[in-house]
Amino acid sequence: MNWIVNNLGLIGELTLEHLRLSVVPIVLGFVIAIPLGWVAWRYRVTRGLVLTVAGLLYTIPSLALFVVLPPLLGIPFLSELNVTIALTLYAIALMARAAADAFGSVDPGVRQSATAVGYSAWRRFWEVEFPLAGPVLLAGLRVVAVGTIALVTVGILIGVESLGYLFTNGLQRRIVEEVFAGVLATAALALVVDGALQLVGRAVMPWARRAPSRTRAVSS
């Protein structure tokens, strides 16, 4: 415990740094995956393409991606940008499938009724389909967020500091507590971000808390 108490400052600093490194891939992945997921849901041809590519992308080990990306994109190997791009790709890969499922989860009857009362395709997307896909999108986003926070630690292998620093440093110096602190802090950060996403979801989708199944009551 001593090590942890004496290094609270370092742990706090690294946690914030870790959070900062996680946020960009999570947000970018979400934003880019929405149109991809929509296209995958909407057209049968693109569905196979998008989901297969996304699935394959996710099977590439992160370290391999760190090595492959720099020569492909002409970016420095030991850079935060390298980590950010790699993690964004993973986030897109996971989120695109979730987004396709999310748009598929929207009741076709509601979509049709929105068309019937005079929604244009554009407004129907933003005011009907996107919000109704919300609960499934959020579920996907939570998986992406937790996954990304876990993956950020790998960045330490190419010198990008995060809570992963505690793993490598603790291993090299044989301080078990330090490694332990890294694991705990990463898990705690993931839990906090997950909880925050849930709270945001409840705030922006108050309707989703009610049972979505439509039970028909007898009385009028």
Partner 1 sequence: MIEFRAVSKQFPDGTLAVDDFSVVMPSHQVTVLVGSSGSGKTTLLRMINRMVDPSAGAVLIDDEDVATTEPVQLRRRIGYVMQNSGLLPHRRVIDNIATVPRLVGVSKAEAHARARELMDVVGLDREFATRYPAQLSGGQQQRVGVARGLAVDPNILLMDEPFGAVDPIVRAELQQEVLRLQQELGKTIVFVTHDIDEAFLLGDQIVLLETGGRIAQKGTPEELLAHPANDFVASFVGADRGKRALTEKVVNGRTILVDSDGRAAGVLSEARR
Query: Site residues (CB under 8 A) for partner 1?
Result: 107, 109-110, 112-120, 123, 128, 131-132, 134, 205-208, 210-212, 214, 216-220
Residues 92, 144: Cα–Cα separation, whole Å: 9
Least separation in angstroms between CB 142 and partner 1:
19
DSSP letter at 126? I
Least separation in angstroms between CB 129 and partner 1:
11
Residues 109, 114: Cα–Cα separation, whole Å: 9
β strands within the chain, DSSP E: none
Residues 65, 85: Cα–Cα separation, whole Å: 9
Q: Which is nearer to partner 1, 123 or 202 (CB)?
A: 123
Q: Which is nearer to partner 1, 76 or 212 (CB)?
A: 212
Residue 143 · residue 136 · CB < 8 Å: no
Residues 78, 55: Cα–Cα separation, whole Å: 26
Residues 89, 57: Cα–Cα separation, whole Å: 8
Least separation in angstroms between CB 213 and partner 1:
8
Least separation in angstroms between CB 220 and partner 1:
3
Q: Which is nearer to partner 1, 52 or 113 (CB)?
A: 113
Least separation in angstroms between CB 38 and partner 1:
18
Q: Which is nearer to partner 1, 77 or 207 (CB)?
A: 207
Least separation in angstroms between CB 118 and partner 1:
3
Q: Which is nearer to partner 1, 6 or 115 (CB)?
A: 115
Q: Which is nearer to partner 1, 42 or 173 (CB)?
A: 42
What are the φ and ψ backbone dihedral angles of 132, each rounded to 5 degrees? -75, -25
The H or E element spanning position 7 is none
The token pair that represents 144 in the structure block: 């992406």
Q: Is the dihedral of CA 62, 64, 66, 71 positive or negative?
A: negative
